[in-house]
Structure formats: structure tokens, C-alpha cells
A and B are shown apart, each in its own frame.
Chain A
Amino acid sequence: MKILLVDDHTLFRAGLRMLLAALGKDVVVIEASNADEAIAVAGDNVQLCLLDLALKTSDGIDLLARLKQTAPNLIVVIVSASDDAQTIRACIDAGAMSFIPKSASPEALTHALRQVLGGEVYLPDELSSASATAPRPHLTPRQRDVLRYLSQGLPTKLIARRLELSEHTVKEHIGSIFHALNVRNRTEAVICASRLALVGT
């Protein structure tokens, strides 16, 4: 698995690289310390990108959008010193799949990276555990597929291509997912899906 680390704090990047190497098998880590380096290598068959939101020289959300543009299939996970709900929502809105706060405890960090390496969504507790006991809504297998791609931040067009459906059908699926989860937009759907553990394994 090819992973891109984008962080301007050298020592933090080194630590993250070592932790990823310890947690995952066959992990290849590429490091970038700024936006240009990141964009230059993002298209190069990278599957996962751990992105620091607070790069000194550029806005993280901007870079997130540019990364998604360069490599639409890239799964972007935000690793950030800030952990307020607004920032997290903005990141998910911009197409990030997970959000790992730097202030997390060592165990939480390990757990979060394990989930992310396993292709699952990780969001901080305050967002994801709010109603973990809520009843699981019923979703059809097709809707689950759509929801999984939504969680990866894919646009409607790509989801349609992956599932070999028309865009119109995908939109209809998304509409019924919103209805089933009682949410109003993609961001809320992704957060809700993560909270209820509806996607992934």
C-alpha cells in the first residue's frame, strides 16, 4: 500500500511513518512537506494520503480539493491539531474520508490508523459516538455500496462508473439513503454512516 504523508513538521512526519510501518504490512510511505511536493506525487498510484490541515504555506482544505482533483480515487485522511466539529465537517465536505486529531491519545492514534489502513472511516469520538445506540436503519446492498463510495468522498459520476449505473440512478440511491438516515447532505450522511458503522467490514 502506497501512502503519502503531508506534514511540515519533520519529526511528526517521521513518527507517523514509523507508526504506519509498524501497523501495516507492505506499506510504502512517501513524504511531502508542502503542497507542491504533495501534488507532484499524488497521482503516482498513491492509495492513501494523510494530510496535515495546518501547513504553514497553504490552506489544508484547498490542498485537499486539489489532491482530489489530481487523483479522484485517492483516499484522503486529515491529521490535524485542531479537532473542532466545524473543521471536521468542512474537511468531510471537501472530500476527506476520515479525520484524526493529533491531540488523540497514543492508543486512539493507533486505533485510528488501523481503521484507516483497513479502509474504514475514522472520525473523532465526539462526532461519531453521539448516538451509537441508535437503531440501524435498513439499507439495501446497493445503497450500502453507494454509501461506501460517498464515504470515500467520490463524486456522483465516479460512483456511477464504479457501480456501472447511470448517474440518475445513483442520485436516486443517494436520495433514499438521505431519507433512510434522516440526513440532509453528503457530509451528514458520511458522519452518520461512520457513527453507525454502516460501511466497511
Chain B
Amino acid sequence: MREPSGAGRYITRLRAAFARRDIEAAANQDELLVELVRLHARIIMRMPWVQSALAICVGVIVLPYVSLAAFLMWCVVSVGIEVLRANYSRRLLARHDEFKPYAVHRAFVLWAFAAGAAVGCGAGWCFFYLPVADQAVLGIVLFAMPAAGVAVSQSSRYIAAAYCLAILVPATACWMVIYPHQAFSAGVMTLVYCAFIILVAVEGEQLLLRSVVIRHQRDRLVRDLEQRNADVRIAMQQAEQSALARARVLATASHDLRQPLHALSLYSAVLAAGPAPEQLREVSTNIDQIVRSLGSLLHGLLDLSRLTAGHYEPESVPIELDHVVAAVCNEYHRTAAARGLSLDTRLAPVRLHGDAIAISRIVRNLLDNAIKYTAAGSITVEVSPLAESGATFGRVSVTDTGCGIPAEEQARVFEEFYQLDNPSRDRSRGVGLGLAIVKRLCELIGADISVESMPQQGTTFTLRIRSGREGANAGADASDIVDASELKGRTVFLVDDEVDILRSTQQLLGAWGMHTKTADSVESAKQLFVVNGVPDLFITDMRLRGGESGARLAAELRTIYDSFPVLVITGEISAAVVADVDAIGAALLFKPITPELLARAITRAIASMEIR
């Protein structure tokens, strides 16, 4: 196909723009037409006046030669059409946007054709009666009208073409009949003129289309910008809220940590003042209670901070959810019985991929909570499978018959330090971190936790655990389940500056059949290597006596002896500690440590070294 030139190219391009399949082009096209017909309608409303003036002027030229009746009839027809067209436009504008742009455009094309034809036919008829000079003047007027019509048509090439052709074709035809020798040149000139007029209209159409597209883009930009602003505002609000929440946690934590310290200081003064012997028992009970609450507060804060700092990486290994929950329930039968509560379990077998430690911890905290807030009745723990949209879910619910949570408080129970009905913050009722930890853990393992409660009737916490995907390391994880037999007979060097911890850990490791040698300082640790050689595993506390670092000690020993696996235990949660430990390629374990955690960490540390 030949490349079209000039007008053809523009028309092709415009048609391409109209023909684009995407919604925006369609919208633009629609909007273009709406815009066009409205502008056109607005101008058309003035046309009766223009047409009347034209009729008077034409009358001055033609009246000496044509009959008055014929002229008046022409006036009535041509001005009448303009009046009707203006009336149509006025009604259209009054309807605002509720019209079909295509239909209206077609109507305007017909109106333009009628108006043009009235003028063209009238003028052509006049040509037969006029002398040459007046014919020329009328011809000039006729050829000027389509030029004005382009502006009136508001760049619709169809309207412009209809008006232009309707005027000039009959008028030129009459001229050609009167002056046959000019027929060819008059016809060609008229056609060229019409083509030019239509071309100008097409150019205008393009311009209008471009302005509509630009307006669309601007509107979209503004919308995007507003959306973006809204997003930023929401993000800022969230950041502010989380900063507020952190500040609140910090303030409460510092208050809650200081209160028992003050009390301890007071009891120290009591002891120094020499209390009566019968008071000593009360003093010791109270101190014990304070220390316990202080301890659980510190543990809670450390756990929370560990979960927040992102050091806990949940695993996705095959677990039997009902077994995990049953093990936790077994820990609580005695506590529940001591408070006169029955602990009922309905555990349907559920197998999924998940993190047994996190789930145990969640269930433990929920049970703690249920027991704390239930004075009489029962606690029911249920495990059931759920299958939703093709995925496997495990559902764990803990229901109590306790005091319940008012609806307006339900969202707040997961906040740090929030405690129901404990305005005086009596610490013997716990520190208020249990559910905050539950929520954080749920976020980490991607589980949903919800609460339903009726005041005075009881509360149900429901956990929905989605089975994790069977990752690439699932096979390795499966063999990873704690198995003390793998630890049997291994030699461990254990370094910690606290003798109590050394002794209890040694007992635990001994129970798993490990041979443990202990050291409480850097020097005695080095001595162990000199005497016994390289162990199967080296476990050290991060902070050792005299400001020494366990990671540094391990690094130093590694430069002297063969490579051996290292497990560093720390109570500190700081980037510096993590970096130190990473630098020597050692495993890191955060306090507080449970036997399961320790066994798992040891198994991994040994396995990782054997693979190498």
C-alpha cells in the first residue's frame, strides 16, 4: 500500500487514534465528540442572528432583480432552519452530559447540510436573475461562508464538509449552467476549495483530540498524585503510631522495671534495720515474688525484642499439630487442676508444615492467659483441620469460661502491657506481654489470631495456621527433628562465667549422653584445648568474665587448632553481637534457652561442620 500523503496521512493517523483498542483511546474519542458537539452547539445558538443579517445583506443585492415573495420565502426557510438548529442546540446544552455524542453529531451534520443547502440553493437560483457584478459579489459571499463554517463546525470535518458542500455544490452547479465555458475551472476550484476547508477541519480535529488527551493525562496524574499522597499519609500515620507504641512500651517497661527495683531496695533496708524474726518469712516471700515478676518481665521484654529485631527465623518443617498442642497441654494439666479448672482437649490429627516452637509458645501463652483469667469452669483446647481455597490450614482454639473481654477492649488485648481490669498493674497477675508475644509470633509464622468473647461467659482465641510450603530444605528439616541419639558420645567444651549455668547445662548435655568439660574463664578454656584437644562442639557465652568476648575466644582458638563447630549463646540482642558471631561462622542462640532449642542448635552446629 502506498504511503498516503498530505490530508490522507492526517486522516489515517486520526483514524488510527480512533481505532486504538485500548480503553483510554475509546474514552478520548467519546470525550472528543462530547466536547466537539457542545462547543458547536454553543456557537450554533448565535446563528439565527448571523443568518438574519446575511439575509438582509443578500436582500439588498438581489431584491431589485427577484420577486419579493420568492426572496421572503427563502428568508423564512434559511433563517427558520437556523432558528430550529439553535433551538436544538439549546435543548442539547440544557441536557448537560446525558446525550449520545454519536447520534447528536450525526444530527448536527444533517442540520449543517440543511442550513448550507438552504443558502446554496437560494443563491444558485438568484444567479439566474442577477447581473454579472452582483453575481460576483454573491459568489464572494458564498465562498466566504464555508471558511466561517469551519470555525462554527468546531473542527468536525463531517459538519464542515456537509455545510461547505451543501452551499457550494448547488451554487457552483448553477454557475456552471449559466457560464458553461467556465464550468471546468469553476468546478475544479470549488472542489479544491472544499478539500482545503475539510483539511483545515481535520487539522482542528487533531488539535482538539490532542488537548483532550493532555487533559486526560493531567487528570490521571492528579489522581495518581492524590493516591500517592494518601499512601504517604497512611504510611506516616502508621510510622507515627508505631513510634508512639514503642514510646509507650518503653515508658511502661521502665516503670515496670523500676517499681520492683525500688521495692527490692526497700526490703534491703528492712533487712538492714533488723526486722522481727516473725517478719523474715514475709520478707522472703515478698522478695521472691518481686524477683519472679522482675524475671518474667525481663524474659518477656527480651523475647519481644528478639522477635521484633527479626532474629527469629520461623521454620517450615513437617509437624503434627495435634501432637505439638498435646505436649503443651500436658504441661498445664497440673496448674489447671490446682486452680480447680478442668482442661479438656479435642485434638483431631492435623499434619502441616510449620514452626513447632513458635506454635508451642503461642499455645502456652494462650493457656497461661486462659488460666489466669478463669476463676471457675473449664478450658477447652481444640485442634481441627481446615481446607480453604485449596490450601491446608490448621485451626487451634483455646476457649475458657472466664471473665471475658468487653467488645471495645478486644482489639487492645494484643497490645504490650495491656491488661484487662488491672489498673493498678499488680504484677502478681503477670506482666501483660503474653498476648503481645503471641501476636508477634503469629505475624512471623503467618498465622491469623482472632478473639471472640462474651463478658462473664468466656473467651475463645482462635489460631489459623496456614501450612507452609514444602521448601527446598524440607528434607533436611525433616531429619532435623531433635534426636538426642545423634548427640550421644560427643565431646563438648562449655564456657560460661556463671557456675550455676555451667552446672545445669552440663547436666542437660549429660542427659543427652554428651561428654562435657566446663571452663569459667578464657584461660581455663584454653587449658581445656591443651589438655583434651579439639572437641566436637565448643559452646560459649558471648559475655565472659573481665570483659572478654566468647566470639573472640572462639576465633582465637580456631587460629590455633583444627576447625571445630562453635555455638555462641547471648542474652544481648545487638547488631554488633550478630556481626561478631557471623564473622567466625558460628551459630548464635539467644537466651532464654529451652532444652529443645539447645538440642536443635547443637545438632545443626555439628551437622554443618560435618558437611564441610
Contacts and interface: CB of A to CB of B under 8 A. Distances in A.
Given A21-B276, A103-B258, A57 B270 contact: no
A5 to B, nearest CB: 12
Given A16-B266, A22-B274, A110-B272, A8 B279 contact: no
Interface string A85-112: 0000000000000000011111101100
Contact of A22 (B255, B273, B286, B425): B273
A201 B425 CA distance: 41
Interface in B252-272: 255, 258-260, 262-263, 265-270, 272
B500 interface: no
Contact of B275 (A18, A56, A110): A18
A79 to B, nearest CB: 9
B238 interface: no
Contacts of B424: 8-9, 33, 56-57
B269 A109 contact: yes
A103 B270 CA distance: 15
B289 A11 contact: yes
Interface size classification for chain B: 20 to 34
Interface in A1-43: 8-12, 14-16, 18-19, 21-23, 33
B255 to A, nearest CB: 8
A23 B273 contact: yes
Main secondary structure on B side of the interface with A: helix
Most chain A beta carbons < 10 A, residue from B262, B263, B279, B424: B262
A39 B353 CA distance: 60
Contacts of B263: 9, 11-12, 15
Nearest to B280: A18
A52 B289 CA distance: 21
Contacts of A21: 275-276, 279
A12 B282 contact: no
Nearest to A112: B269
A12 B276 contact: no
A107 B263 CA distance: 14
A14 B265 contact: no
Contact of B259 (A14, A23, A81): A81
B595 interface: no
Contacts of B272: 106-107, 110
Given A105-B265, A106-B272, A11 B423 contact: no
Most chain B beta carbons < 10 A, residue from A18, A56, A105, A110: A18
B598 interface: no
B290 A11 contact: yes
Nearest to B265: A106
B269 A19 contact: yes
B423 A19 contact: no
B426 interface: yes
B358 interface: no
A95 to B, nearest CB: 24
Most chain A beta carbons < 10 A, residue from B265, B279, B289: B265
Contacts of B290: 11
Nearest to A14: B286
B282 A18 contact: yes
Given A9-B259, A109-B266, A18 B423 contact: no
A10 B428 CA distance: 10
B399 to A, nearest CB: 31
Interface in B268-325: 268-270, 272-276, 279, 282-283, 286, 289-290
Contact of A57 (B282, B283, B423): B423
Nearest to A12: B263
Contact of B270 (A8, A15, A102): A15
Contacts of A23: 273
Given A12-B262, A15-B263, A81-B259, A106 B268 contact: yes
A52 to B, nearest CB: 10
Nearest to B274: A22
Contact of B266 (A10, A19, A56, A107): A19
B328 to A, nearest CB: 31
Contacts of A105: 265
A187 B286 CA distance: 38
A14 B265 CA distance: 13
Nearest to A34: B424
B287 to A, nearest CB: 9
A33 B425 CA distance: 12
Nearest to A54: B255
A8 B424 CA distance: 6
Nearest to A111: B269
Contacts of B279: 18, 21
B282 to A, nearest CB: 7
A22 B275 contact: yes
A39 to B, nearest CB: 17
B426 A10 contact: yes
A7 to B, nearest CB: 10
A15 B266 contact: yes
Contacts of B268: 106
Contacts of A10: 426, 428
Nearest to B426: A10
Contacts of B258: 81, 102-103
A96 B39 CA distance: 84
B286 A15 contact: yes
Given A11-B286, A57-B423, A103-B258, A22 B265 contact: no
Contact of B273 (A11, A12, A19, A57): A19
Given A15-B283, A56-B423, A109-B266, 11 more contacts: A9-B259, A9-B263, A11-B263, A12-B259, A12-B266, A15-B266, A16-B266, A18-B267, A18-B282, A23-B273, A110-B273
Interface of A: 8-12, 14-16, 18-19, 21-23, 33, 56-57, 81, 102-107, 109-110
11 contacts: A9-B259, A10-B428, A12-B259, A14-B286, A15-B269, A15-B270, A18-B270, A18-B282, A19-B269, A106-B272, A110-B273
The 4 A-B residue pairs whose C-beta atoms are closest, nearest first, are A106-B269, A15-B266, A22-B273, A102-B262
